[in-house]
Chain A
Amino acid sequence: MPDNFLKRRDIGKLIASVRDAGGRFVAPALAARQAVYKDISSAEELDDDYILPRNSYKELVFPQTEVIADFTIGKDGVGLKGRDVTGRDTVVFGARPCEAASLESLRSVFTWGFIDEFCTKREDRLVVITIACTKADGACFCTTVDLSPKSVTGSDVALSETDAGDYLVHSVSEKGKAFIAKHSDVFKAKPSADAVVKPIIMPERIKGVDLEKIKKFLSDTAHYENPVWPELTRKCIGCGACTYVCPTCHCFDITDEATAYGGKTPFEGERRKNWDACQFDNFTLHASGHNPRDTQFKRWRNRFMCKFNYYPKKFSSKGCVGCGRCIRVCPVRLDITEVMEAISKRP
């Protein structure tokens, strides 16, 4: 039983009240001719036709780049000040269930021992409203990694679309309940009697993929020498695109950007945390010139290991949610599910 009902025509009101209170409303909308998650200010901007936005909404908690500290170097010494993040109430509307499941993976890394509050403070104020998928494309494979368009993991409010374009509303988390209560003027108590839910699509499970077998294969250190790696991943050109669109990829770099450096001239600058990618050859390059992942297949193997070994084993969370973004974006058509299948076939 749904808890509430949301009329399509009331979304504009919801956007306005979130924004009027100082919050951000993020939803799939067109940019550069494709659906992406972005800030919107009116319901007209919503894209009606999207399957899955091109970017991951991880950037709401883990931005592509952000300043973590500012410094000034002058005649009277060094001034250093860390940045604070308080977070801003943010609603992501129309997220997909696969992606919602990825937030707890990111959180597991960013709270492992040391807590990265840049990430957690934002996530604390993020409300995720998912819409069950009525469409999928050939790259979607959530069901193969034990998720589905019906999953609500990581979702705060789960919607299902009706034939009329309205939504049945299920509150999933306490955060979601509070959000619905706060916006009770748009979340109507009862669905209209004639509301018919659109059929939810179920991407077919890829038969050749056996997650247990993959797990076993990866946990044996001997697999590093297996020729399957160079064979399957040789074509990767190391562009890193797959990592930037992936909702669970968390790697970053820390760099300084300053107005000048050296000599006696005073200067100022900022220290930034920027997305980085394990697919780049200088990612692990030592100053000595030694590089533990000196060829592309080793870097690709690391990415696969991260998804199907490090995340599940170290952080008890999903490394891959089957969103298919890395497949859609790859310029050389390296399909992660083909690697999953090939490994599942190993004795």
Chain B
Amino acid sequence: MNNIYLPQLVTIEDIYEEAPDVRSFRLVFKDKFLRDSFEFKTGQFGLYSAFGLGESTFCIASSPTRKGYIQCTFRRSGRVTGGLYDLSIGDTMGFRGPYGNCFPMDEWKGKDLVFIAGGIGLPPVRSVIWNVLDRREDFGKVTIVYGAKTVADLVYKNELEHWEARNDVRLVQTVDPGGETPGWKGKIGFVPAILEETATSAENAIAVMCGPPIMIKYVLNALGKLGFADEDVYTTLENKMKCGVGKCGRCNVGDIYICKEGPVYTAVEVKRMYNDF
């Protein structure tokens, strides 16, 4: 029988401390065939199991251009994520997926890209960023605007340094007022305002954003002011999920099931949705 709820076993090959309470796992399928054949697209997500506690939904934060493993980044925030947080390198956990739709990256060839992320919203965007950087010549200018509450809360610090150092990427980092440290060289302010300051051109450009609902709302305004048309603005939505496959009935925003029809949407689609966020 085909059991759609049965996870695959994966081994934690490496663990990275990203921020207080935030960790990344590098995961490898135990099954050799799956390890070689597993495919996913940027924007898709999975259900990760801590056996005995349950499942949690995270995006696949690695890029499909990097084969042989997947990476997830999560914040310890409850039962399952707490259990996962306690696991060590070499431990086994569960994964099922990939689920959901993806960013239409092939349509973006030749365009400028601006990425906007807040806090733990960077992982889904990271998958797009590495996908772009791994075939850099396909795309135009790359701008990344990333913010968190405090300096400590910025995730992927090593990668931020790497992006900062590259001359084919413009990285603007910011922290909320009061979240800065004495040596902080980035900006101080909320993401939407900092985004406006960057004066990024909307000409032949695509914007990709992810963050808490309140940030999304204001970033949409800011992008509008910069001249971005709604059809060129992409985001990935989150909701409480259990099944991930359109059955359990809890991830819907009005008539739209995020797990099955999302999680990637354009701003045009988001604005058409029922106010059920």
Q: Which positions in A face B, CB cutoff 8 Å?
A: 68-69, 71, 73, 77-78, 80, 82-86, 109-110, 112-118, 121, 221, 224-225, 250-256, 258, 260-262, 267, 269, 271, 273, 276, 278, 283-288, 290, 292-293, 298, 302, 305-306, 309-310, 313-314
Contact = CB atoms under 8 A, between A and B. Distances in A.
Given A252-B248, A256-B51, 5 more contacts: A117-B4, A254-B243, A276-B250, A283-B240, A310-B255
Contacts of B86: 262
Contact of B245 (A86, A114, A121): A114
Contacts of A68: 3, 5-6
A116 B81 CA distance: 26
Contact of A121 (B1, B94, B243): B1
B227 interface: no
Contacts of B243: 252, 254
B167 interface: no
A337 to B, nearest CB: 22
Contacts of A224: 254, 274-276
Contacts of A284: 239-240, 250
B94 A292 contact: no
Return the 8 tightest CB-CB contacts between A and B, nearest first. A251-B249, A82-B6, A258-B52, A82-B3, A287-B77, A114-B245, A78-B92, A261-B52
Interface in B159-213: 212-213
Interface of B: 1-7, 9, 51-55, 77-78, 81, 83, 86, 92-94, 212-213, 238-240, 242-243, 245-250, 252-255, 260, 272-277
Contacts of B242: 252-254, 276
Contacts of A310: 252, 255
A293 B94 contact: no
B75 to A, nearest CB: 8
B48 to A, nearest CB: 13
A117 B252 contact: no
A315 B276 CA distance: 20
Nearest to B78: A287
Nearest to B7: A80
Nearest to A62: B247
22 contacts: A78-B9, A78-B93, A82-B5, A84-B1, A85-B1, A113-B245, A114-B4, A115-B4, A116-B245, A117-B3, A117-B4, A221-B275, A224-B254, A224-B275, A254-B5, A254-B248, A256-B54, A286-B238, A287-B81, A288-B77, A292-B277, A305-B255
Contacts of A255: 54
Given A221-B275, A252-B243, A73 B6 contact: no
A117 B1 contact: yes
Contacts of B212: 288, 290
Nearest to A84: B1
Nearest to B77: A287
A12 to B, nearest CB: 35
Contacts of B253: 292
Nearest to B272: A221
B250 A278 contact: yes
A328 to B, nearest CB: 23
Contacts of B2: 115, 117
Nearest to B93: A78
A224 B246 CA distance: 23
Nearest to A72: B51
B254 A69 contact: no
Contacts of A252: 242-243, 247-249
A80 B212 CA distance: 35
B254 A116 contact: no
B54 to A, nearest CB: 5
A112 B252 CA distance: 14
A69 B248 CA distance: 17
Contacts of B9: 78, 80
A121 B4 CA distance: 13
A310 B257 CA distance: 10
A253 B248 contact: yes
A110 B212 CA distance: 31
Given A68-B5, A115-B2, A283-B250, A269 B255 contact: no
A115 B246 CA distance: 10
A269 B52 contact: yes
B3 A286 contact: no
A267 B50 CA distance: 13
A113 B77 contact: no
A80 B92 CA distance: 11
A221 B274 CA distance: 5
Nearest to B8: A80
Contact of B246 (A77, A114, A292): A114
B241 to A, nearest CB: 10
B1 A80 contact: no
Contacts of B255: 305, 309-310, 313-314
Contacts of B248: 251-254, 276
Contacts of A314: 255
A287 B254 CA distance: 20
